């Protein structure tokens, strides 16, 4: 399923503001496709992501992830970042105490929930939130409206891992998810080579990449990061 030129133009005009009415003024305008580079674990990668022009970076506070970062390390990285880049904390069934501490110590501007969190849990922290869904099939879409987060992230399903699989899912389902009226971040198997195709098909609010721009889990390939972001900008 692809958009017609008329539908695509309409969707571009209607791209939703990333924040709702209580958003800081800096974000209250329609943006081009947002780029989030996830799985940041060290200062050098963070600076490369900023230099390449990313809009957001993600810290994974999930111990079982190969891209896990200690809270103290993430806090130090955040001190070096420009104020406008978004700092996203990625959590999987984390205790409230860890989340509130990460918000305070790392200056998080968005929370991403990748586990079995309830709809109420995701929106209780007074910060922008995004619920991630591992798309297994159309039945996954039935869960989305239960969550009143500011955005949704659609990722590939895996029976062995919660993200960073490097695998794609059926992008037609991401197109269908646009009907829920919230910003959609597309993830799962995106690379510098296919991200333009993904944008042309889905017209997501944002794209999220981790393994597709790495030389090893938790270590970014700076050339791939730049190539990925350049591909996004040229696709718009």
**From the candidates 45, 150, 155, 208, which is the catalytic residue?**
155
* Torsion over CA: 95, 96, 101, 102 (sign): positive
Instruction: Tell me whether residue 221 is one of the annotated catalytic residues.
Output: no
- Of the candidates 83, 81, 77, 153, the residue with the CA atom closest to the CA atom of residue 115: 153
Asked whether the beta carbons of 205 and 151 are under 8 A apart, the reply is yes
**The two three-digit tokens of residue 173, written as one number:** 């389902």
Instruction: Tell me whether residue 106 is one of the annotated catalytic residues.
Output: no
**The two three-digit tokens of residue 200, written as one number:** 């042309």
How many C-beta atoms lie closer than 10 Å to residue 112's C-beta? 29
Return the DSSP state at 163.
S
**The two three-digit tokens of residue 38, written as one number:** 């996830």
**From the candidates 2, 38, 105, 221, which is the catalytic residue?**
38
CA distances from 144 to 116, 133, 151, 194 (A): 13, 8, 10, 26
Active-site amino acid positions: 38, 155
């Amino acid at each position: 399923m692809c958009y017609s030129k008329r539908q695509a133009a309409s969707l571009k005009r209607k791209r939703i503001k990333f924040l709702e009415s209580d958003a800081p003024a800096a974000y209250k305008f329609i943006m081009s496709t947002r780029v989030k580079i996830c799985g940041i674990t060290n200062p050098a990668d963070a600076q490369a992501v900023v230099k390449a022009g990313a809009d957001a970076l993600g810290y994974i506070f999930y111990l079982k992830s190969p891209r896990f970062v200690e809270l103290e390390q993430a806090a130090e990285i955040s001190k070096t970042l420009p104020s406008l880049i978004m700092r996203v904390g990625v959590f999987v069934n984390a205790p409230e105490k860890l989340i509130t501490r990460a918000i305070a110590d790392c200056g998080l501007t968005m929370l991403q929930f990748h586990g079995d969190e309830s709809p109420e849990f995701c929106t209780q922290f007074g910060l922008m939130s995004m619920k991630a869904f591992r798309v297994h099939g159309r039945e996954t879409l039935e869960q989305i409206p239960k969550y009143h987060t500011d955005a949704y992230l659609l990722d590939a399903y895996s029976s062995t891992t919660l993200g960073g699989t490097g695998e794609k899912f059926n992008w037609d389902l991401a197109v269908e998810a646009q009907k829920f009226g919230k910003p959609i971040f597309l993830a799962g198997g995106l690379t510098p080579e296919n991200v333009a195709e993904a944008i042309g098909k889905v017209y997501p609010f944002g794209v999220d990449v981790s393994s597709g721009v790495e030389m090893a889990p938790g270590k970014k390939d700076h050339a791939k990061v730049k190539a990925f972001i350049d591909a996004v900008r040229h696709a718009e």
